[in-house]
Amino acid sequence: MTDSSTSEPEMSAAARPRKKLFIKTYGCQMNVYDSDRMRDVLTPLGYEPADRPDDADLVILNTCHIREKAAEKVYSELGRLKPMKEEKAAAGSSMTVAVAGCVAQAEGAEIQRRAPVVDLVVGPQTYHKLPELIASVHRGRGEGLDTEFEVEDKFDALAIPDRQIEGYSAFVTVQEGCDKFCTFCVVPYTRGAEWSRPVDQIVAEVRALAAKGIREVTLLGQNVNAYHGAAPGGREAEGSWGLGQLVRHLALIGGIERIRFTTSHPRDMDDDLIAAFADEPKLMPYFHLPVQSGSDRILRAMNRKHSAAEYLDVIARMREARPDIAISGDMIVGFPGETEADFEATMDLVRQVDYAACFSFKYSRRPGTPAASLGGQVDEAVASQRLLQLQALLNEQQEAFNRSTIGRTLPVLFERKGRRDGQIGGRSPYLQAVHCDGPAELIGQIVEVEIVAASRNALAGRLSGGKRSAA
Ligand code: 5AD
Ligand code: SF4
């Protein structure tokens, strides 16, 4: 293996030996964003993308710890990497295996004990140190462990204006971490305390994205609507900005046509942000607001800090501000102590909200979280039955929502060629996948499409002639 030491500044990127990088991403959109940033910091060291792990010199698993299944997948993948690494070693080359993300943060050195194939464990806040850490692995020194929280460092070093761009829609992390401590959730432990990036840094990143042809940005944060970033430079007197202010400001950047944000908490939904849905047309009328349960008893045990009625009130205010808004959510069934009546309350709330889309999960017991030691853990078969029942209702709602758009003309951001020749695909304002016949030149543009058919997962449309905005 060639040493990728950072101590050779005179060597240009072009002159560096070519190496192959394979990153496998698990979990949420923030991990997708982080994987892109890891690619960005490694590109100047000569790393190019590999299509398969067995072709790679460096394999990074960017992991998710949110539910047990997600965490276990990492160990299965490490099992598959072991023979590949051995084969490479036998052939005289080598493979470096790194585990990044929330499993790395939560389990640290334990990973290397359980899977010695791992050379390096790196937590979400220290990706900017990857070049240095990899170099130290290659030199066979250092512990190769770095999972401390150093949030500011991470963003200073990773806000690279010339990041690699593909497509027309991009994620931008604006906030990280969570102080809510829902009793089932590992996020406050894996992503640390709630923290917001300064407005200036976000604006610089979004401007750079717009210059590369990005038309849509999705602002990411585990508690994105708690955003409170430092006001732009020179205006310190203004203190910090909320998400509504940030959205309106980003909407002024030329080329940016669509703004979305995820994930929000009902407690942090302020009037200014709700008003932004009414008065900022670039803010898309699609809103993801998890509730987790419809039972106040369970919401209390979850430490959600809101009741079912308070959640429904936020939804009502959103619908008043933006009547065509589509709502999505997250639900958990089988939380400890959940009775049939609690579950019925969840079904009731779902009927009242009428979701356009909703993720639903069986409660997964996460060691170290308060709910893990609660009594009344729900029988697996009961939880599975409830999940099936809930998902049947949610699927019905999703299909009904999609069907309700038949006959409407919606602006679609075309992003790719369709599966069939002559077909193109994109997204409606409500995040629905839309396919229609059309020329590839429309990719990257927002075009009016008449919706002619709908299924649970996609819409079919017909170009209706009016192009809304040029590339
Ligand atoms: N078990 C099941 N689902 C969970 N989620 C978070 N933690 C757990 C858990 N322990 C779900 C919540 C959250 C989404 C990202 O994942 O619904 O909103
Ligand atoms: Fe987890 Fe609750 Fe924070 Fe969401 S709000 S990340 S569910 S602790």
d(CA 34, CA 165): 14
Q: Which two tokens stand for residue 407?
A: 């006959």
Atom of ligand 2 nearest to the CA of 181: 8
Q: Which CATH superfamily is domain 153-404 in?
A: tm_1862 like domain (3.80.30.20)
Q: Summarize pLDDT for 276-305 with one digit per residue, the tens.
A: 999 999 999 999 999 999 999 999 999 999
Residues 6 or more apart from 210 whose CB is under 8 A from it?
253, 254, 255, 256
Pairing of strands 423-427, 409-417: antiparallel
**Residue with CA nearest ligand 2 atom 4:** 222
- What's the 290 CA to ligand 2 centre distance in angstroms? 9
- Residue type present at position 105: Q
Ligand 1 centre and the CA of 67: distance in Å?
7
For 229, how many CA atoms within 13 A lie in the half-sphere containing its CB?
A: 28
* Side-chain half-sphere CA neighbours of 140 within 13 A: 3
CA distances from 442 to 408, 418, 433 (A): 20, 12, 16
The amino acid sitting at 304 is: R
Per the CB < 8 A criterion, the answer to whether 316 and 354 are in contact is no
Tell me, in angstroms, the distance from the centre of ligand 1 to residue 176's CA.
17
Asked whether 274 and 321 are in contact (CB, 8 A), the reply is: yes
Residue 142, pLDDT > 50, answer no
Sign of the Cα pseudo-torsion (354, 358, 362, 368, in order): negative
Please report the atom of ligand 1 found closest to the CA of residue 290: 18
Give, in degrees to the nearest 5, the angle at Cα 208 between 204 and 209: 120
Please give the structure tokens belonging to residue 254: 């030329």
- pLDDT digits over 329-363, tens only? 999 999 999 999 999 999 999 999 999 999 999 99
Share of the chain above pLDDT 70, in %: 89
Return the best residue to mutate from 32, 185, 191, 358 for the ligand 1 pocket (most ligand atoms within 8 A of CB): 185
Minimal CA–CA distance to 125: which of 151, 143, 146, 107? 151
- Ligand 2 binding pocket includes 226 (Cβ within 6 Å): no
The class level of CATH for 19-150 reads: alpha beta
Q: Is 358 assigned a ligand-binding role in the annotation?
A: no
Q: Which atom of ligand 2 is nearest to the CA of 265?
A: 5
The ranges assigned to domains in the chain are: 19-150, 153-404, 406-463
Average pLDDT for the chain: 90
DSSP conformation class of 424: E
Dihedral sign for Cα 150, 152, 157, 161, please.
positive
Contact 122, 98 (CB under 8 A): yes
Q: Which of 222, 328, 330, 391 to mutate to test the pocket of ligand 1 (most atoms within 8 A of CB)?
A: 330
* 64 annotated as belonging to a binding site for a ligand: yes
**Closest ligand 2 atom to the C-alpha of 330?**
7
Distance CA 163, CA 208 (A): 8
**Side-chain half-sphere CA neighbours of 231 within 13 A:** 9
185 marked as part of a ligand binding site: yes
Instruction: Supply the residue whose CA is at minimum distance from atom 9 of ligand 1.
Output: 364
Taking the CA of 291 as reference, the closest ligand is 1
Query: pLDDT tens for residues 152-206?
Result: 556 665 555 556 677 899 999 999 999 999 999 999 999 999 999 999 999 999 9
Which segments of 27-128 are extended strands (E)? Answer: 47-49, 58-63, 96-101, 120-122
- Ligand 2 near 291 CB (within 6 A): no
Rg of the chain, C-alpha, whole Å: 23
Q: What is the pLDDT of residues 202-236, one digit of tens each?
A: 999 999 999 999 999 999 999 999 999 999 986 66
The binding-site residues of ligand 1, defined as CB within 6 angstroms of any ligand atom, are 66-67, 184-185, 290, 292, 330, 332, 361, 363-364, 366
293 C-beta closer than 6 A to ligand 2: no
Tell me which of 65, 222, 262, 306 to substitute to probe ligand 2's pocket, judged by most ligand atoms within 8 Å of the beta carbon: 222
The tens digit of pLDDT for each residue in 356-400 reads 999 999 999 999 999 999 999 999 999 999 999 999 999 999 999
| pLDDT at 435 exceeding the cut of 50 | yes
Q: Tell me what the mean pLDDT of segment 68-87 comes to.
A: 93
Out of 28, 102, 186, 187, give the residue to mutate to test ligand 2, the one with the largest number of ligand atoms within 8 Å of its CB.
187
Please work out whether the CB of residue 178 comes within 6 Å of at least one atom of ligand 2: yes
Say if CB 151 and CB 173 are below 8 A apart. no
Judged by DSSP in three states, 32 sits in: helix
**Rounded to whole angstroms, how far apart are CA atoms 192 and 335?**
24
- The residue assigned the tokens 């669509």 is 258
Contact predicate 106/70, CB 8 Å: no
* CA of 185, closest atom in ligand 2: 1
The sign of the torsion formed by the CA atoms of 337, 358, 222, 269 equals: negative
In which band, very low, low, confident or very high, does the pLDDT at 11 lie, cut at 50, 70 and 90?
A: very low
Tell how far the Cα of 89 is from the centroid of ligand 2, in angstroms. Answer: 42
Q: How far apart are CA 159 and CA 185, in angstroms?
A: 28
Cβ neighbours of residue 269 closer than 8 Å, sequence gap 6 or more: 225, 289, 314, 317, 318
List of E strands, 123-265:
145-146, 169-173, 175-176, 195-196, 216-220, 229-230, 240-241, 258-262
Task: Decide whether any atom of ligand 2 lies within 6 Å of the 225 Cβ.
Answer: no
CATH, range 406-463: 2.40.50.140
Residue 111 CA to ligand 2 centre (angstroms): 24
Closest C-alpha to ligand 1, atom 6: 185
Nearest CA to ligand 2 atom 2: 182
